[in-house]
Amino acid sequence: MKGIILHGGHGTRLRPLTHTGPKQLLPIANKPMSQYCLESLRDAGIKDIAIIIGGTGSNKVQEYYGNGEKFGVKISYVFQDSPRGIAHAIRLCKEFVNGEKVVVFLGDNILKKSIADYVKKFNDSNASASILLCEVDNPTQFGIADVKDGVIKKIMEKPKNPPTNLAVTGIYLLTDTIFDIIDRLKPSWRNEYEITDALQMLLEEGHKIVYNTVTDYWKDTGTPHDIIHANHVILNDMKPYFDGTKEENVTISGNIMVGAGTVIKNGSKIIGPVIIGQNCKIGPNSTIGPNISIGYDSKISGCNIENSIIMSGCDINGDFTIKDSIIAFNCEIKKSDTLSKIFLLGEGTKISL
C-alpha cells in the first residue's frame, strides 16, 4: 500500500504566514503539521509516500523532508502546476500508485488516532474506497456524507442544507478505480476537480464505499484559530521533559517540554502545557503559558504570552501581553510600555511599539 500527502495550495486564509512558504510546514507543537500526516502513514506501515507540491515555498518542502530517509520512509515528489482540486492532485499520482491501494492524507489535517486499524480493514475488504467521517458543528464548510442505516447514500461538497453533520475528513483510502473516475470528472463551479464529486460518482456507478467515524480529535487546520487549537490539543498529550536549565525564582507547573540549551531566567513563570525548543532564552520576568509553543533559538524577555505559537528565531522583548497569536520565524517585537495585543505575523516581521 502507498501513501500520498497533499502539500500544495495557496493557504490564503493563513496569510501573511503563508507568503513565504506552504501552510503545511507551519509548526504545531514545534513540528510541521504535515509531519504528523507522514508519521501517521509510516506508523501504519506505509513507507512509500508521494508528496504533492506546488506554489510558494515548494523547495522548502523538499529541503525539509529530503528523500524521507531521516523519517524512516521513501519520498517521491509530484509537482502540481496550480491548485486544481484534490482529485486532480490524486490523478497526478497514477504512475506512482501503480495499481496498488493508497491512503491520501491532506497535509493540513491533524488526526490524533492511529490509522493502522483503518488501513488493515481496508486492505482486507473488497471496497473501492473507505472514508473517515467526523461530526462537526459547521457542516456547510465541509464535504458531507448522507448516511442512513450504516450506508453512505450520497456525498456532497459544502451543501447549503446539509442532511447530516458528518464531515468527510481529509483522509481517503482508495483503490486505483479512482483514476478512471477522475478521468471522467468535470470541474466544479470553483473550476476544481473535487474529491467529493469523484466519490459520489463511485457510489452512483455501484462501487462499494465504506466508512469509519472518528470520535477522537480531528482538525482541518485552515485558519489561525484552528492551528492554535490543534497546538493546544497536541501539547496536552505530549510526554514532559526538561533538558534545559533554570535560574532561581523560576516557577514551573503543568505539562512542560524544554529543549537542550534553553535557559529559563530569574523571575519567570512557565504554565503548561508549553513546549520550548532548543537554545532559547526565556526571561527574566516573563510568564509563558498556558498553551504555548516556542521554536528554537528564540529570546523572550519581560512579557506575558498565552495561547500562542512563536516560531524559531524570534526576539520578543518588552512589558506587554501577547495572546491568541501566531508569530512566524525570525520576527522581532520590542516595546517598553504595557499593552496587550493579538498578532498574526509573517516571516521576518519587525515591530517596534
| 4-18 mean pLDDT | 68
Q: Encode pLDDT of 75-104 as tens digits.
A: 999 998 877 889 999 999 999 999 999 999
Share of the chain above pLDDT 90, in %: 68
Please tell me the predicted confidence (pLDDT) of residue 13.
Answer: 60
pLDDT above 70: residue 202: yes
> For the segment 98-137, what is each residue's pLDDT rounded down to a tens digit?
999 999 999 989 998 899 999 999 999 999 999 999 999 8
pLDDT range class, residue 253, cuts 50, 70, 90: very high
Looking at residues 336-348, what average pLDDT do you find? 59
Q: Is 120 left (phi over 0), alpha (psi -120 to 50) or beta?
A: alpha
Please write the tens of the pLDDT for every residue from 293-323. Answer: 999 999 999 999 999 999 999 999 988 888 9
pTM: 0.89
